Structures are given as C-alpha cells and as structure tokens.
Amino acid sequence: MGKKIFSGVQPTGNLHLGNYLGAIKNFVELNNVPTNECIFCVVDLHAITVKQDPKELKKNIRETVATFVASGIDPKKSIIFNQSGVAAHSEVAWILSCVARMGWLNRMTQFKEKAGKDKEKASIGLYSYPVLMAADILLYDATHVPVGDDQKQHLELCRDIAQKFNNDFGVEDFLKVPEPLIQKEFSRIMSLKDGSKKMSKSEISDLSRINLTDNEDQIINKIKKAKTDPLPMPKNIKDLEGRLEAQNLLGIFASLNNSTLESSTEKFAGKNFSEFKHELSELIVNKIIPISEEIKKLLNDYSHLDSILLDGVEKASKIASKKIKNIKEIVGF
C-alpha cells in the first residue's frame, strides 16, 4: 500500500544543504513513488513564532515553493501549499493544545535551544509550536513524515498527542499515529565551521552553511574555508571517531553521491584534506548549482509560484475540512 506523506519546511530564508540532504532530497524520492500521496507544506504559521519582516516572509514563502520545485518535487504529483491558507491547521492546533500536557512540552529541547537564556521573552507560539506541527500531520492522516534528526522529538510528541486524543475520546485509530522517516546516515548535517553544531538558517556566519541559492564561487570558497583537523583523511570508519568535521564533510560527500559513509571514507583514505575538498566542492557545485539556477528562474515568475500554492491550498482544504468536521463532532462542538 502507498504511504501518505506529510512534511513541512519553514519559509525563513537561507534554505541550506542541511535542509536539502536531511529533508528535501527525500521528499523528491518519495514524490517519485507513484503509489505515495505526498503533501509538502510551507509552514508560514511556524515561521512567525519568531519575528519576521512581512515583506521578507512573503518573498521567502515563494522562495521555499521555488526550492521544492527546483529540487524535483512535481506539483502535479504532490500537493504543495502554505499552512496559513488552510485555517483548519490553527483550529486543530488549539484543540490539540487542550490535549497535550505542559509536562510534555517542557521537555522539548528545540524550544530550550531557540528560547535561549531568556525564556520569559519567547513567544507563546514558539513554546506551543510542536502542537501546531502535530495538527499539520494529523489533519491529513499522514502515515509517514520525512524529517531531519532535529525533528525526531517533535514527532514523538505528535504520536503521544494522537494517542491521547484517541484514548480521551474513545475513538481508537481515529487520529493516525505517524511514523517518522529519518535517514540512518546524514540526517544531521553540521556547520562547516563547527562539527558539533547543526547547520542552521539562523547561524550568523554565512560561511557555516551552503545555501541552496549560493553560486559556484561561494560554494568553492566555503568548502575551502570549512574547518578540518591537522591529520590526513581518516583511513576507515573507526578512524572517524571524534573527528566531527571530517565526519560531516565525508557525510555530505556520501549523501550527495548516493554512496555510504564507509565507501566515501575509503575513497579518500590517507589523502590530504585539500584534495578531498577539491572533489567535494566539485560535487556540491554539480548537484546544487542546477537547483540554485532553477530557483532563480522560478523566482522570475511569481504568478506561477502563486498558482502552485493556490492549487495546493484548494486540494489540501478538501482533505482537511473533512477531518476537522469529524474532530469537531468527536469533541462535542
């Protein structure tokens, strides 16, 4: 039986190689399986949990759609839409926030990281963000959710919320408990400047990430400047232990090359980093530049991008309105 796939990406600009390898590359593969039903959401409601410039947000929503399409997601085969276009997401998020427990949300590590030291100043939305994410997934009866490793805890929470809703209201199997789809290798791409930190949109230094809109010179320069260690390239997987930067760069190579970490490590065993970096930048340029050029091309035609979203909103609304009707019935509205 085909899978029902749902996933989301925040339109906060600077979509990077981590987003691509951890998530979007998988979206494309799942979209290419004819029996799968895929829904990919530009999660603009999630984006405003931290301050956004409205003009920038609008631009970034379109840029995220362009990135989906440029990466190979076919809007004819998948539903691509923006979250704020379907009101049911906000409504169901409220209902589920009355099911989820404070204790569960208090354990979310991403909130702790994003809120930083001054939690009192974080928005309420940032705190309850994973409940909205659960609403996204559960509204569409998604069976599988492809994400990077950093979303694992949010998906576990989504499963808990679904189970509690079903138990509380005595509706076994009504909300479908989804399975995360997290790759074994390469599900956490790290910063080019620090192998212990996640590659991230919000990191101040642009040298820490490869953006999907970077040009060839930027890519070559960033890889040249990427942190390594003074030793020659590791001889084997065991030799990678404790060498976070080498592990990350080899992981990027392997993932883009559709090979394993093991075979990529063997390919460069004992060589010096500069030789490896040369091949790595060539590979990134070959894989990312066509995407980056396609994004730029697509961004010249806003009306086309907007029509993809409009069409997606219409299709998603049809599915969501049926589910929310049943949810309201069950709750007693």
Tell me which residues touch ligand TYM (CB under 6 A): 6-10, 18-19, 22-23, 43, 46, 133, 136-137, 145, 147-148, 150-151, 187-189, 198-199
Active site residue 114: yes
State the Cα–Cα distance between residues 260 and 153, nearest whole angstrom.
26
Q: Which one of the listed residues 59, 114, 227, 287 is annotated catalytic?
A: 114
Closer residue to ligand TYM (CB): 154 or 277: 154
**CA-based diameter of the chain, in Å?**
67
Closer residue to ligand TYM (CB): 184 or 238: 184
Residue from 44, 71, 56 nearest 14 by CA: 56
- Cβ of residue 208: shortest distance to ligand TYM, in angstroms? 10
- Cβ of residue 154: shortest distance to ligand TYM, in angstroms? 6
State the Cα–Cα distance between residues 81 and 61, nearest whole angstrom.
10
Dihedral of the CA atoms 256, 286, 146, 34 (nearest 10)? -110
Active site residue 76: no
Q: Which one of the listed residues 176, 193, 201, 323 is annotated catalytic?
A: 201
281 φ/ψ angles, rounded to the nearest 5 degrees = -65, -35
Closer residue to ligand TYM (CB): 26 or 281: 26
Tokens of 241: 């232990």
> Tokens 């976070």 appear where?
244
* Total residues belonging to the chain: 333
- Cβ of residue 243: shortest distance to ligand TYM, in angstroms? 18
Closer residue to ligand TYM (CB): 150 or 229: 150
Report whether 228 contacts 192 (CB < 8 A).
Answer: no
Closer residue to ligand TYM (CB): 207 or 304: 207
Q: Which one of the listed residues 4, 25, 198, 277 is annotated catalytic?
A: 198
CA angle 76, 89, 112 (to 5 degrees): 110
State the Cα–Cα distance between residues 155 and 289, nearest whole angstrom.
32
- Cβ of residue 270: shortest distance to ligand TYM, in angstroms? 28
Residue from 225, 217, 222 nearest 292 by CA: 217
Cα distances (Å, whole numbers) of residue 331 to 99, 157, 169? 11, 20, 7
- Cβ of residue 181: shortest distance to ligand TYM, in angstroms? 10
- Cβ of residue 200: shortest distance to ligand TYM, in angstroms? 6
State the Cα–Cα distance between residues 259 and 270, nearest whole angstrom.
19
Active site residue 51: no
Closer residue to ligand TYM (CB): 48 or 239: 48
CA dihedral (63, 152, 126, 211) positive or negative: negative
List the catalytic residues. Answer: 114, 198, 201
